[in-house]
């Protein structure tokens, strides 16, 4: 993805169009599933509109992909560098709902935080 904002929105729209094609959904059907108007979705796909994170989440849910995927495409999130990230795998699972994904991620991150907290240094004998 390039740094040029207009190019970013065009690339995002093209990505959504490709995902829609892979899912074999018409523009009209995706707009119904995502709860956005047909003309607005068309403008997003053509790179003419900058959708909010909420709209991207609705589109992702309708496409059965993770919202994180669209956030990265939109430049809202940076792509992750580590290929074997559990959070990414949870968010990309098409068999569970967005709410379930968020719950699992929160639990996982709380466990990680609990175990990643550095132990306090030992007290020096005085």
pLDDT at position 124 over 60: no
Concatenating the DSSP letter of every residue in 13-42 gives HHHHHHHHHHTT--HHHHHHHHTS-HHHHH
- Over the stretch 24-68, which tens digit does the pLDDT of each residue have? 999 999 999 999 999 999 999 999 999 988 999 999 999 988 888
In whole angstroms, what is the distance from residue 12 CA to residue 52 CA?
A: 12
pLDDT at position 120 over 60: no
In whole angstroms, what is the distance from residue 46 CA to residue 64 CA?
A: 21
How far does Cα 120 stand from its chain's mean position? 36
Domain boundaries, the chain: 5-74, 86-116
Return the pLDDT at 119.
52
Q: What is the mean pLDDT of residues 95-116?
A: 79
The domain made up of 5-74 has a fold known as 434 Repressor (Amino-terminal Domain) (1.10.260)
Return the pLDDT at 87.
74
């Amino acid at each position: 993805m390039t740094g040029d904002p207009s190019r970013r929105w065009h690339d995002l729209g093209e990505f959504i169009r490709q995902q829609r094609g892979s899912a074999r959904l018409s523009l009209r059907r995706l707009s119904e599933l995502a709860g956005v108007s047909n003309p607005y979705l068309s403008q997003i796909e053509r790179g003419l509109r900058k959708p909010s994170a909420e709209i991207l989440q609705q589109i992702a849910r309708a496409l059965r992909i993770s919202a994180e995927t669209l956030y990265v495409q939109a430049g809202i999130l940076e792509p992750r560098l580590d290929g074997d990230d559990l959070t990414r795998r949870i968010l990309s699972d098409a068999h569970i709902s967005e709410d379930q994904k968020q719950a699992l991620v929160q639990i996982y991150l709380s466990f990680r935080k609990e175990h990643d907290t550095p132990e306090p240094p030992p007290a020096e004998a005085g």
